[in-house]
C-alpha cells in the first residue's frame, strides 16, 4: 500500500512529458502531442500515435500550419457571419442563380447558430450543438445543403489561415429518403389537362405548360425559358438552353421535335402568332391550377416533375433505349440514372405485353 507521500508524488506527476522542442508525450497513453505558442496562446494538437518518428513528422507539418495562421490585426474578432459574407463573394461568379440562392439561404440559417461567434472559437463541439438543434427539425436535403455550406465556409477559413483545421469535416450527410415516383396514366393525364382547362380561361396557359412538360421531358425551368426561336420546324428539333440560369448540367441540348409536342406548338402558333423572341409559355408555374384540377378530378397530387416522369415512362413503353432517353432528358451518364429510376417500368410493360401472347396449337387450327 502506497504511503501518503507516494500518493501525493503520483498525483503531482506531470500529465505531459516534454521529449523535444514543442513535442510532448502523454504519460498515461504514451500518445505524442505538439504544443506551439503563437501570439501568447498555446496551441496543442494530438498526433494520435505512440511512434516518435511519426510524431516528429506530424510536428513539422503542425508547426508549418501554425506559422501560416494569419497575422492580420483583429483576427480573433472576425465572426462567422463576416467570413460567410466574404466567402459568398468569392463564389458568386461561378454559381447559377438557383445555386447561389440555395447557398445564401443556408448562410442565413447557419448565422442563427454561428453568426456572432469568432471563427477561431468554432469547435467540433459547437458543430455538434448545431447538429443537435438542426438535424431533427429539417429535411435531409435542407440539412445536407447547410452542412455543405458550413464545411465550405470553414474550408475557406482554413485556406485563409484563420483556423488550423476544419471542425465541420466530420459532420456526416443525412440519408435521403427515396421518394415514391407518382406517374399519371394516360387516362389520368387526359383527365388532368381537361380539368385544368375547365377551371378558368386564365388556366389555359397552365394546361399548355403541363402539356409541354409531358411532351418534351424538359424540367420546369427549362420549359419556361424556351423561346420560339429555339424551335426548328424545318430540322424537326428544339434547343433546350435553360435561359439565364442554364440547364442543370450547364449545357444546352438539341432534342427531336416529338409529334405530340409539334402539334401543341403548331396550335399555339395559330392562336398567338408569336414573335421569335417571345416565350412559348407565358407563365412560370402551373402549381395552383394543377392542385385544383387534381382535387376536383379526384386525382393523385401530381407535380410539374411528374410530367417529366410521364414522358420517360411513355418512351420506355415504346421500347426506346435508356441511353437515348437520357440524352433527351439532359443526363450525361449514358442512361444509368434512367435505368435506376425507370427500369422497373420496362419489366412491368414487358409482363403486360406478355399477356397478349395467348396463341396455342389449337388456336392455329
pLDDT band at 47 (very low <50, low <70, confident <90, very high): confident
| DSSP per residue, 34-79 | EEEEETTEEEEEE---S-HHHHHHHHHHHHHHHHHS---TTGGG-B
Q: What is the mean pLDDT of residues 201-225?
A: 95
pTM to 2 decimal places: 0.63
Question: Cα dihedral sign for 158, 140, 110, 76?
Answer: negative
- Distance CA(191)–CA(300), nearest Å, equals 11
Q: What is the pLDDT of residue 211?
A: 97
Strand, helix or coil for residue 26: strand
pLDDT band at 7 (very low <50, low <70, confident <90, very high): very low
Q: Is 246 left (phi over 0), alpha (psi -120 to 50) or beta?
A: left
| Chain segment 53-103, per-residue pLDDT in tens | 998 898 888 887 777 665 544 455 789 999 999 999 999 988 888 889 999
Distance in Å from the first CA to the final CA of the chain = 106
Tell which wins on pLDDT, 246 or 130. Answer: 130
Calculate the alpha carbon distances from 314 to 214, 215, 311 in Å. 10, 10, 5
Strand ordering across the sheet containing 41-46: 16-20, 23-26, 32-38, 41-46
Q: What is the pLDDT of residue 83?
A: 94
pLDDT band at 361 (very low <50, low <70, confident <90, very high): confident
For cell 429510376, what's the residue? Answer: 341
Q: Where are the alpha helices (DSSP H) in the chain?
A: 4-12, 52-68, 80-91, 97-114, 124-134, 140-159, 186-197, 204-216, 220-224, 259-272, 287-296, 304-317, 322-329, 336-354
Angle between helix 204-216 and 287-296 (nearest 10): 90
| Chain segment 300-346, per-residue pLDDT in tens | 999 999 999 999 999 988 889 999 999 999 998 888 988 888 877 66
Q: What is the pLDDT of residue 308?
A: 95
- Distance CA(255)–CA(219), nearest Å, equals 13
| Chain segment 219-272, per-residue pLDDT in tens | 999 999 999 999 999 999 999 999 888 888 888 999 999 999 999 999 999 999
Q: What is the mean pLDDT of the chain?
A: 87
- Distance CA(33)–CA(356), nearest Å, equals 75
| Chain segment 285-296, per-residue pLDDT in tens | 999 999 999 999
CB 219 within 8 A of CB 255: no
Q: What is the pLDDT of residue 226?
A: 96
Amino acid at each position: 500500500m502506497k504511503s501518503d507521500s507516494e500518493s501525493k508524488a503520483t498525483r503531482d506527476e506531470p500529465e505531459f512529458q516534454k521529449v523535444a522542442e514543442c513535442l510532448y508525450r502523454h504519460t498515461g497513453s504514451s500518445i505524442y502531442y505538439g504544443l506551439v505558442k503563437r501570439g501568447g496562446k498555446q496551441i496543442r494538437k494530438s498526433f494520435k500515435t505512440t511512434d516518435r518518428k511519426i510524431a516528429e513528422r506530424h510536428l513539422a507539418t503542425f508547426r508549418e500550419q501554425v506559422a501560416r495562421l494569419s497575422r492580420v490585426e483583429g483576427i480573433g474578432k472576425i465572426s462567422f457571419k463576416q467570413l460567410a459574407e466574404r466567402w459568398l463573394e468569392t463564389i458568386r461568379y461561378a454559381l447559377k442563380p438557383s445555386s447561389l440562392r440555395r447557398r445564401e439561404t443556408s448562410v442565413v440559417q447557419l448565422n442563427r447558430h454561428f453568426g456572432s461567434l469568432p471563427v477561431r472559437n468554432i469547435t467540433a463541439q459547437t458543430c455538434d450543438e448545431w447538429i443537435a438543434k438542426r438535424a431533427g427539425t429539417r429535411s435531409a436535403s435542407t440539412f445536407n445543403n447547410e452542412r455543405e455550406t458550413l464545411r465550405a465556409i470553414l474550408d475557406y477559413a482554413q485556406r485563409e489561415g484563420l483556423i488550423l483545421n476544419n471542425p465541420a469535416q466530420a459532420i456526416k450527410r443525412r440519408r435521403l429518403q427515396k421518394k415514391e415516383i407518382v406517374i399519371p396514366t394516360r387516362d389520368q393525364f387526359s383527365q388532368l389537362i381537361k380539368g385544368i382547362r375547365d377551371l378558368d380561361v386564365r388556366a389555359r396557359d397552365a394546361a399548355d405548360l403541363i402539356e409541354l412538360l409531358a411532351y418534351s421531358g424538359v424540367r420546369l425551368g427549362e420549359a419556361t425559358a424556351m423561346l420560339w426561336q429555339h424551335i426548328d420546324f424545318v430540322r424537326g428539333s428544339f434547343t433546350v438552353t435553360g435561359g439565364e440560369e442554364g440547364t442543370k448540367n450547364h449545357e444546352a441540348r438539341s432534342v427531336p421535335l416529338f409529334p405530340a409536342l409539334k402539334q401543341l406548338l403548331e396550335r399555339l402558333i395559330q392562336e398567338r402568332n408569336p414573335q421569335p423572341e417571345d416565350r412559348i409559355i407565358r407563365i412560370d408555374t402551373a402549381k395552383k391550377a394543377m392542385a385544383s384540377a387534381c382535387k376536383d378530378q379526384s386525382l393523385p397530387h401530381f407535380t410539374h416533375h411528374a410530367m417529366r416522369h410521364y414522358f420517360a415512362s411513355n418512351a420506355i413503353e415504346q421500347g426506346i433505349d435508356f441511353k437515348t432517353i437520357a440524352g433527351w432528358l439532359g443526363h450525361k451518364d449514358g442512361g444509368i440514372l434512367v435505368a435506376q429510376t425507370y427500369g422497373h417500368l420496362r419489366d412491368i410493360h414487358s409482363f403486360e405485353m406478355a399477356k397478349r401472347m395467348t396463341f396455342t396449337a389449337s388456336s392455329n387450327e
